[in-house]
């Protein structure tokens, strides 16, 4: 039995430092390995390790772009004609154990989880004054990593009535053990437990938006509950973030990906030219600044957006630079501060949650009208203050799809809405490529080494969507 995963990432007692940052602590020594007892000796060492997690979130395989690109390939916004190799396999919703793009994403995110666990296991080195903050940040990081893996490698909550269907391996310790898939119920229970614990430990607000504070944690609680179709909790947490007054909605439908950042960002990875430049995969896969990108928008989606006459967001879809091709120009900046969660998303969560519950409709209508009015530059397309819950729901879903084009969101909405417990609001085939929300190919296949490490590890069914 081969333990390839653990040999590369989890070998103990040697603690392999793989981060390269401004701190010498995070540089790989010439000999390669550092004994853990030597690498983690002080509070400063633990904090630097935690900082390394944040860096990897923004410039490695996670929010740097591989996560978003993979979700877009599985979704219904892209033109599949230019694709080949591993991206085409993902686009065709028929991934195998040999897709190294998926394997790199999977191992990259789990390595961040592993590192967060190492921080949590060395809290004894942290002073009483700082321990709660460090613990809360590490729990937050572990939670959002598990959440993102679960959304891509497991079916959505609601796939089974009790969510007993297979989820992902839960890794809450750095101890080496054979991988076992927890149920989706168990996975989301752990994610929420980590986030709620973090909520009670982290600072109320961090003006840098780089490190977890209560608003950042609550924004992810809103996202997680929303993905679960738990609308009461999603509304409440989105409402807490919005009501904090710390963030400002952009006044025009310009890209949120700029060198100076956006006032509506809640959680970011800072751009530091030459040192920390997040979003390179987003630029490489989507941007048309220097060459025609590989990931392009389908004519079908373009036609849908142009059907909303006067919507200024059509400018996000460039049809002129490369004749006969359409690409998202959100990522055309040479570098940008990377917004991971924004105020726009919180308004969309709160508005749809209000519609789903048929409560707080005035708030939900006001929320979506902010998005609509920005898109058109005036209030002529705003929905009526007396709109029904059903009409509000329709408009929120329309606005969300356009607002989040190219950001890796659409796939998760296809699966979430298909599992909506409110039968009247469920759309089982929302996908423009006509796949049902619960078809096997909507989730990725696990890497081969999980099966190699545990012969009883349950792989996902391959294909079966298109």
**What is the pLDDT at residue 449?**
93
Contact 337, 349 (CB under 8 A): no
CA atoms of 344 and 249, how far apart (whole Å): 7
Contact 74, 156 (CB under 8 A): no
Name the packing angle between helices 66-74 and 128-153 (round to 10°). 30
Contact 166, 444 (CB under 8 A): no
**What is the pLDDT at residue 35?**
57
Residue 181 in 3-state DSSP? strand
CA atoms of 398 and 391, how far apart (whole Å): 11
- The predicted model scores a pTM of 0.93
1.25.40.390, 3.90.1150.10, 3.30.565.10, 1.10.3720.10: CATH of 1-202+409-443 = 1.25.40.390
Q: Encoding tokens for residue 220?
A: 């992810």
Per-block mean pLDDT, blocks of 10 residues, the chain (466 long)? 34 34 32 60 96 92 95 98 97 97 96 97 98 98 98 98 98 94 98 98 98 98 99 98 98 95 97 89 96 98 98 98 97 96 98 98 98 98 98 98 98 98 97 98 97 97 91
CA atoms of 395 and 260, how far apart (whole Å): 31
CA atoms of 155 and 161, how far apart (whole Å): 12
Q: Would you give the DSSP letter of residue 422?
A: S
Name the packing angle between helices 389-403 and 361-376 (round to 10°). 40
Q: What's the helix, strand, coil split of the chain in %, to 5?
A: 50, 5, 45
Residue 265's beta-bridge partner residues?
342
Q: How wide is the angle at C-alpha 157 spanned by C-alphas 74 and 114, nearest 5°? A: 75
Contact 169, 453 (CB under 8 A): no
Q: How wide is the angle at C-alpha 439 spanned by C-alphas 90 and 281, nearest 5°? A: 25
- The answer to whether the 1-202+409-443 and 207-271+282-404 domains have the same CATH topology is yes
Query: What is the H or E stretch that residue 54 is in?
Result: helix 43-59
Which has the closest alpha carbon to 71: 436, 407, 439? 407
Domain ranges of the chain: 1-202+409-443, 207-271+282-404
**What is the pLDDT at residue 431?**
98
Q: Which residues of 42-81 are buried (b: 16+ CB within 10 A; e: fewer)?
A: ebebbbbbbbbbbbbbbbbbbbbbbbbbbbbbbbbbbbee
Fold of 207-271+282-404: 1.25.40
Query: What is the H or E stretch that residue 338 is in?
Result: strand 338-342
CA atoms of 327 and 322, how far apart (whole Å): 9
Contact 249, 374 (CB under 8 A): yes
């Amino acid at each position: 039995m081969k333990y390839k995963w653990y040999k590369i990432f989890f070998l103990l007692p040697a603690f392999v430092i793989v981060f390269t940052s401004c701190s010498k602590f995070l540089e790989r020594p010439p000999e390669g390995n550092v004994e853990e007892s030597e690498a983690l000796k002080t509070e400063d060492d633990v904090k630097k390790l935690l900082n390394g997690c944040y860096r990897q979130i923004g410039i490695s395989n996670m929010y740097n772009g591989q996560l978003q690109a993979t979700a877009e390939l599985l979704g219904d916004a892209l033109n599949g004609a230019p694709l080949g190799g591993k991206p085409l396999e993902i686009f065709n919703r028929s991934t195998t154990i040999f897709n190294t793009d998926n394997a790199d994403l999977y191992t990259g995110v789990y390595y961040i989880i592993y590192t967060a666990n190492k921080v949590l296991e060395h809290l004894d080195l942290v002073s009483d004054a700082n321990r709660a903050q460090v613990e809360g940040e590490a729990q937050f990081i572990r939670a959002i990593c598990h959440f993102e893996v679960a959304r891509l490698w497991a079916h959505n909550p609601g796939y089974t009535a009790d969510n007993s269907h297979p989820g992902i391996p839960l890794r809450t310790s750095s101890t080496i053990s054979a991988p076992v898939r927890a149920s989706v119920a168990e996975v989301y229970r752990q994610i929420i437990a980590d986030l709620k614990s973090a909520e009670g430990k982290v600072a109320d607000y961090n003006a840098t938006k780089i490190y977890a504070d209560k608003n950042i944690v609550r924004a992810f609680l809103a996202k997680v509950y929303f993905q679960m179709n738990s609308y009461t909790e999603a509304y409440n947490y989105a409402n807490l973030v919005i009501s904090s007054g710390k963030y400002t909605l952009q006044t025009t439908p310009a890209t949120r990906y700029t060198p100076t950042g956006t006032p509506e960002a809640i959680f970011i990875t800072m751009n530091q030219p030459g040192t920390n430049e997040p979003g390179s995969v987003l630029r490489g896969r989507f941007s048309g600044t220097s060459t025609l990108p590989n990931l392009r928008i389908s004519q079908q989606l373009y036609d849908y957006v142009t059907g909303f006459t006067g919507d200024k967001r059509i400018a996000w879809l460039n049809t002129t630079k490369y004749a006969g091709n359409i690409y998202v120009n959100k990522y055309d900046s040479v570098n940008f501060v990377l917004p991971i969660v924004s105020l726009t998303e919180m308004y969309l969560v709160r508005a749809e949650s209000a519609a789903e519950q048929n409560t707080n409709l005035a708030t939900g209508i006001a929320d979506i009208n902010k998005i609509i009015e920005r898109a058109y530059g005036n209030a002529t397309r705003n929905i009526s203050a007396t709109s029904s819950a059903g009409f509000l729901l329709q408009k929120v879903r329309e606005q969300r799809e356009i607002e989040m084009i190219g950001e890796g969101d659409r796939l998760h909405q296809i699966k979430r809405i298909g599992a909506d417990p409110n039968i009247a609001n469920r759309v089982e085939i929302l996908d423009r490529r006509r796949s049902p929300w619960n078809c096997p190919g909507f989730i990725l296949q696990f890497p081969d080494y999980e099966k190699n490490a545990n012969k009883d590890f349950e792989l996902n069914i391959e294909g079966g969507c298109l």
